[in-house]
Each structure stands twice: as structure tokens, then as C-alpha cells.
Amino acid sequence: MTTALIPQPAAAVIGASSGIGEALARRLARAGYAVALVARRADRLEQIAAAIEAEHGPGRARVYVHDVTQTAEAPAVFQRLLADLGRLDVLAYNAGRQLPVALDEYDFDKDRQMLAVNTLGALAWLDLGAALFERQRAGQLVGVSSVAGDRGRVGAPAYNASKAALNAFLEALRNRLTRHGVHVLTVKPGFVDTELLKNAPRAFWVITPEQAAEDIFRALQARRQVIYTPARWGLLMLIIRHIPSFIFRRLKF
């Protein structure tokens, strides 16, 4: 319940038009947050905002159309949503791109597109949230990465690199911001039933975006540092991370 003494918390979800981002925005709204929905697809954002407000009341969702590859525009969008919401408690970066890459393909344009969304867009938005949360000595940053960032696989070099860079960046932010009371969560999903799944050569342990969002929400409540979703990926990736390189390079995934 929101009162003058207990104000309504607010969250911004970057990449909120589908998949995990949409599910997380809906989950946060259900928990009482006012939510800023940020993504490229205006029509889809308007649909999600309308659904949230129909369920939870007016003023609970706001739409901000933004392409995360246009990093120079991020500060203005951030300031606008901050002014509209009046406060910010959670900033979650979920935008992601994975393009199909053949084993004999070396395409810098595809690589650039993936890093622009998965890494540079993330840095632009997470830096904004980090600066704000350090000043207010409170707040939670979420970066939705991937199990793909744990190892350099033959099938997706640039995608792996983009997520590995995001993992390292989030860890560095965590080490910097913990002393200021700021929580930083790294999320490493396996296969989730989203648009990205169509580019996976094989998939198993597939979960819904809603399950991933619930895992993220619980991790926020518990102030976890790193989670795999579903959790069984943590054990599998522990094994994969310790496969010797001379064996790993022979694998076909």
C-alpha cells in the first residue's frame, strides 16, 4: 500500500516490449511499482502499458520510445522518465540481440549490431542508473546477460563476447557500488521462450519469460549478486567453465 509515509517505488525496464523485459515489468507492477517501459516498438509498449493500468490502476506504467543503439539519446530519456516517475528504485537492462552466424561466417556488421545492443546500450543505461543510485545511496541495477557469456563458444563469438563484457561490467559496478548501499544483480538465463530462441541451433530446459521474471524478482528481494535461470544452469555452467580449453575447442556448440 502506498501512502505519504510509504511512497510508491518506481522501476525502469529497458527492453520492455517483449520477452523477459515485458514479463519483468508486469511482475514489478504487480508488486506495487510504477514502471517506465523503454523500447523501440511504440505500439507494443502502449499495449503493455494499457494492460498494466487496466489491472493496477492509472499512472502505473509510462511509455518511452527509444532505440538503445542511439546511446547519445539515453541521458535525455533517462531524465524524462526520472522526472515523470519522481524517483527510481530499480533500473533493469534487458535489451538484447542475437543474430544467426554460420560456423564459417565472419561478419563484422553482425558483430557490431550485437555489441551495440548487448554491450554499449547496456553501458549507457547502467552508467546513468549507477550515477543516480550512488548519489542517493540506494537502488538496484539489473543486467540481463546470458549463460553464453561464461565461455567463448564456436557458434557465436560476438554474442558470447558481448555478454562476457556485460558480466565483467556488472561485476565491476557491483564492487564499486556495494559500499554505497547499491545492489547490482547479474542475470544469466539459459533458453527462454522469446524471439531470441529462434536463432538457437538447439534448445533444452526452455522456460517462459514469466518464470525468468519471477526468478529475477525474487533475486532482487534477496539482493542476490548473480543468478542463473533456471537455477540448474548454474551447475551445468560450472562444469563447462572448467572444461580444459584443448577439449572445449573441439565441441560443436
Looking at residue 194, its pLDDT comes to 80
- Residue 142's DSSP bridge partners are 92, 185
Task: For 2-58, write each residue's pLDDT tens digit.
Answer: 544 557 999 999 999 999 999 999 999 999 999 999 999 999 999 999 999 999 999
Task: For 153-190, write each residue's pLDDT tens digit.
Answer: 888 999 999 999 999 999 999 999 999 999 999 999 99
pLDDT of 1 strictly over 70: no
Active-site residues: which are they?
A: 159
Looking at residue 65, its pLDDT comes to 98
Task: For 193-250, write each residue's pLDDT tens digit.
Answer: 887 666 666 777 899 999 999 999 999 999 999 999 999 999 999 999 999 998 888 8
Q: Using the structure block, give the residue that is written with the C-alpha cell 557458434.
A: 155
What number of helices (H) and strands (E) belong to the chain? 9, 7
Cell matching residue 11? 522501476
Residue 74 is inside which H or E element, if any? helix 74-85
Looking at residue 30, its pLDDT comes to 97
pLDDT of 253 strictly over 80: no
Calculate mean pLDDT across residues 120-127: 98
Looking at residue 15, its pLDDT comes to 98
Q: How far is CA 133 from CA 12, 52, 127, 141, 207, in A?
A: 13, 26, 10, 9, 32
Give the separation between CA 73 and CA 92, rounded to whole angstroms: 18
Give the separation between CA 95 and CA 84, rounded to whole angstroms: 22
Looking at residue 193, its pLDDT comes to 87
Query: For 246, phi and psi rounded to 5 degrees?
Result: -65, -20
Looking at residue 4, its pLDDT comes to 47
- Residue 233: other Cβ atoms inside 10 A: 21
Task: For 50-75, write each residue's pLDDT tens digit.
Answer: 999 999 999 999 999 999 999 999 99
Three-class SS state of 26: helix
Looking at residue 160, its pLDDT comes to 96
